[in-house]
Amino acid sequence: MWKSDKELFELAKKELFTALVGDILDKLGHFHQFLSPDIKPINKNMVLIGRAMPVLEANVFLESV
C-alpha cells in the first residue's frame, strides 16, 4: 500500500501501461477516456499520470436588455 500521492504515482508509473489502463476502463464501462493519439508529449521520455477533473464546457452569450 502507498502512504502518499508520490508513492502512488511512482507505483503506477512502474506497474501500469496505457493498454492495461484502457482495458480496465473499458471493462468498467468508461469508454472514450483517452486523448487523441495526435496529442503527444514534447519528449518521448515524458510520462504523465495524475488525477483529472472532467468538466463540461459551453459557450454562453448573454443578450443585453
Query: What are the cell numbers at 3?
Result: 502512504
Query: What are the cell numbers at 61?
Result: 452569450
| Cα–Cα dist 35/54, whole Å | 13
| Domains of the chain: total | 1
pLDDT of residue 48: 75
pLDDT of residue 65: 63
Q: pTM for the full model?
A: 0.51
Average of per-residue pLDDT across 26-49: 83
Q: Which residue has the cell 468508461?
A: 30
Q: Which residue has the higher pLDDT, 49 or 5?
A: 5
| Cα–Cα dist 23/29, whole Å | 10
pLDDT of residue 27: 95
Average of per-residue pLDDT across 27-55: 82
Q: Which residue has the higher pLDDT, 19 or 63?
A: 19
Q: Which range marks the domain in which residue 50 is found?
A: 1-65
Please report, as a single letter, which amino acid is at residue 4.
Answer: S
